[in-house]
């Protein structure tokens, strides 16, 4: 089994993809809008992916709500952004926490119904004024306390529904002045200041089963290497300062913040301390290059992967109709106040 999460090209598994996944045996898969048509189609696709590797692999998706959601109407609810959920803080913090739980418990119910067992959520980044808008309304707030409050119940909602969560983008993407999909952000702030602000939500939720790295240079650690490929950064900040001991996955290796070939990017990310490398294009030649940069999933990384898988094994009782009614009532009250 290779320490990889890979995408695929379309709504159905091609014979070429099936053969490649059988031979490469990636640890997990990730789905995007290009893979989504209908509930029945997705159930077949997730079943086919697991058949290809002959095991119950985790299948990931980005379903935050707002701008970032791969499942949309008419087949699925139109979930709001984190900013909308967090606006409940103005009236009642307990209501804000409750709506975050319901939001993520409903999403988990959607995902499990389709065979999707991991969600790249919640976002723990704290956006600052003047930063690139890539985070903006995806954040639960502009203070560590607000983000932590909402994210705790988000994690609880996902795991109660049998979906393993991924906190992102560790150790914090909120100050980035450029979008790491397009360029390499650099943050020059003092690490002591960052520890008390940007890093704080990740410290408070360091027991999460999985985290996704930020493709950002933290100049106080290593001035010429993004954290995803920085052994010093991962060791000192993520495993040390933050104390995160769960499975660490890279953000997408296709993003322009990282330079070099896909094979080299994979090797550098894994050598730096990422347990799993994520590559999302769904293009078979790209996946072959990524596989060349990976070796067998073993050691502590394998142990962490098993824990992450186990977080998708247990589902608590859930009355969907009642949860939707409560969720809609809270959102309706919020709209009236606004």
Nearest Cα neighbor of 251 from 140, 170, 132 is 170
Give residue-wise pLDDT tens across range 50-107.
999 999 999 999 999 999 999 999 999 999 999 999 887 767 888 999 999 999 999 9
Give CA 169 to chain center in angstroms: 8
Task: Quote the mean pLDDT of the chain.
Answer: 94
Q: Grade residue 334 by pLDDT with cuts at 50, 70 and 90.
A: low
For residue 258, pLDDT beyond 60: yes
For residue 321, pLDDT beyond 60: yes
Q: Grade residue 338 by pLDDT with cuts at 50, 70 and 90.
A: very low
DSSP-derived letter for residue 138 is G
Burial of 135 (0-12, 13-18, 19+ CB in 10 A): buried
Q: What residues does 45 pair with on adjacent strands?
A: none
Kindly list the catalytic residues.
181, 251
Percent above pLDDT 70 for the chain? 98
pLDDT higher at 15 or 92:
15
pLDDT given at position 90: 66
Which string of DSSP letters, residue by residue, matches 158-193? HHHBT-EE-EEEET--TT-SS-TTTS--EE-S-HHH
The CATH T-level fold of domain 2-337 is TIM Barrel (3.20.20)
Q: Grade residue 335 by pLDDT with cuts at 50, 70 and 90.
A: low
**CB 309, CB 58: distance < 8 Å:** yes
pLDDT higher at 255 or 300:
300
Which string of DSSP letters, residue by residue, matches 106-137? HHHHHHHHHT--EE---B-----TTS-TTSGG
Mean pLDDT for 39-54 is 98
**CB 305, CB 297: distance < 8 Å:** yes
Give residue-wise pLDDT tens across range 264-314.
999 999 999 999 999 999 999 999 999 999 999 999 999 999 999 999 999
* Global confidence as pTM: 0.95
With a CB cutoff of 8 Å and minimum separation 6, the contacts of 105 are 157, 158, 160, 161, 318, 323
Structure tokens at 80: 């709001």
Give residue-wise pLDDT tens across range 188-242.
899 999 999 999 999 999 999 999 999 999 998 988 899 999 999 999 999 999 9
pLDDT given at position 41: 98
pLDDT higher at 111 or 93:
111
């Amino acid at each position: 089994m290779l320490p990889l999460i890979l995408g695929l090209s379309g709504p159905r598994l091609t014979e070429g993809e099936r053969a490649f996944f059988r031979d490469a045996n990636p640890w997990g898969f990730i789905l995007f809008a290009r893979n989504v048509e209908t509930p029945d189609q997705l159930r077949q696709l997730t079943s086919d992916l697991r058949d290809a590797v002959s095991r119950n692999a985790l299948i990931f998706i980005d379903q935050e709500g707002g701008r970032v959601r791969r499942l949309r109407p008419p087949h699925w609810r139109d979930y709001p952004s984190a900013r909308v959920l967090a606006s409940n803080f103005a009236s009642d913090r307990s209501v804000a926490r409750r709506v975050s739980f319901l939001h993520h418990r409903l999403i988990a119910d959607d995902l499990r119904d389709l065979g999707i067992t991991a969600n790249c959520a919640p976002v723990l980044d704290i956006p600052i004024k003047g930063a690139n808008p890539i985070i903006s309304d995806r954040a639960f707030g502009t203070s560590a306390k607000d983000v932590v409050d909402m994210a705790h119940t988000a994690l609880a909602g996902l795991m109660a529904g049998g979906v393993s969560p991924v906190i992102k983008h560790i150790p914090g993407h909120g100050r980035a002045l450029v979008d790491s999909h397009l360029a390499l952000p650099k943050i020059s702030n003092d690490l002591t200041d960052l520890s008390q602000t940007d890093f704080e939500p990740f410290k408070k939720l360091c027991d999460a089963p999985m985290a996704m790295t930020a493709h950002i240079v933290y100049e106080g650690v290593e001035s010429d290497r993004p954290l995803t490929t920085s052994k010093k950064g991962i060791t000192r900040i993520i495993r040390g300062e933050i104390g995160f001991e769960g499975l660490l996955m890279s953000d997408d290796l296709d993003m322009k913040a990282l330079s070099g070939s896909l094979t080299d990017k994979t090797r550098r990310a894994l050598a730096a301390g990422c347990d799993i490398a994520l590559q999302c294009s769904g293009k078979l030649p790209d996946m072959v290059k990524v596989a060349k940069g990976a070796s067998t999933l073993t050691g502590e990384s394998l142990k962490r992967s098993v824990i992450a898988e186990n977080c998708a094994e247990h589902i608590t009782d859930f009355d969907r109709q009642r949860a939707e009614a409560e969720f809609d009532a809270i959102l309706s009250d919020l709209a009236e106040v606004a």
